[in-house]
A = this chain, B = another copy of it.
Amino acid sequence: MMKSQSKMEKKPRARDLGIPFDGTNGPLNAITDVQGIEVGHTTLISGNGKLVVGKGPVRTGVTAIFPLGKKSADPVFAGWHSLNGNGEMTGTTWLEESGFLEGPIMLTNTHSVGIVRDSIIEWQTKHHMGGELWSLPVVAETWDGFLNDINGFHVKKSHVFAALDKAISGPVMEGNVGGGTGMICFEFKGGIGTASRKVQIHKENYVVGVMVQTNFGRRQQLRIAGAPVGAEILEHTIKPKGTSSIIVVVATNAPLLPHQLKRVARRASLGLGRVGSIASNYSGDIFIAFSTMNLKATKSPSVVDVTMLSNNELDPLFEATVQATEEAIVNALIAAETMTGRDGNKVIAIPYDRLKQVLKKYKRLAEATNSS
């Protein structure tokens, strides 16, 4: 019942439908455009019909993001920000203090954060990837209880290990996969989304990659490419009890220090602003940013050389973060497919035809471009 990650159907992405975005994306238009990053998903879909706690139906999963790939235990500089903290991201206290992210980031459902956290430590000690002494893993979540038997605790250690072990570079599966499996976004089906931007600063080329697990927003609020899409597509809205949230992971190969990465993380707020978010009280809108440079920073016993992009040069990276966050959210919506879960609860995918209709009305339907 664990859907294979290799079964990567060719689905359109937002740009394929003609949705216009600012900026220039990388070759994969994905977080993996930042070299070294590996992503793995375990997707858990089983059962139908009435909820029996512990039995299902199951619509959940877990996603792993390795900043430097699963073979590296090197820490990377990182920062985080909470736009609205109705959620959990473990490990942030140490990340804030030390300036380092010391392992993978994992995404799952709200009630499986603990098992994922401890399983990372076990995986790390088993593979001698840190954790032998101690580890403070970073695990974030959004809530999938409208579709998933969230109190059945269906994510197990083996699922966590699988997501870690299978993490790969290259194209990233989006939509109903991994931690995003049972998620809802603007009352459409949501889930995992990703995007990237290329920027040039004084002749140096950098990439910003973003991955989101989307589970937020009221229909009426949705704006795509500036058009009031949500207000125009009001059919099949739902009112799930429970929280809505979005986790944003921003990666870059630009040499940023921890305090600069905190600034980058904060820019995800502006990408959310563009799609119409109000950062609801019920939403865990939590962002993390890391840089894959400066890997020597913890290696030496004492003083190490690091490089730093001047504050004066950060604007292109800030802009790229805003743009890629916006696009990653829309990509999640476009990739996600209609899903029926517990108690027959059904969440529809955003209907492409209606979406294109609205965008056309507002002169926001571009010629389709190929993003990958």
Contact = CB atoms under 8 A, between A and B. Distances in A.
Interface of A: 53, 82-94, 96-100, 110-119, 121-122, 125, 131-136, 139, 143, 145, 150-151, 153, 201-202, 204, 221, 223, 225-228, 241-243, 255, 257-260, 263, 266-267, 269-274, 276-282, 284, 286, 297-298, 300-315, 318-319, 322, 361-364
A297 B313 CA distance: 13
A111 B297 CA distance: 25
Contact of A136 (B87, B139, B274, B280): B87
B301 A279 contact: no
Copies of this protein in the assembly total 4
A238 to B, nearest CB: 15
A82 B96 CA distance: 10
Contacts of A82: 93, 96-97
Q: Which label, helix, strand, loop or mixed, suits the secondary structure of the A interface?
A: mixed
Nearest to A119: B114
8 contacts: A53-B125, A85-B97, A93-B284, A111-B121, A111-B134, A226-B226, A257-B306, A273-B277
A309 to B, nearest CB: 6
Given A90-B90, A118-B113, A153-B118, A318 B363 contact: no
A227 B337 CA distance: 29
A305 B255 CA distance: 10
B204 A303 contact: yes
Contacts of A306: 257, 305-308
A113 B122 contact: no
A269 B273 contact: yes
A152 to B, nearest CB: 10
A93 B88 contact: yes
Contact of A84 (B90, B117, B201, B263): B263
Contacts of A241: 133
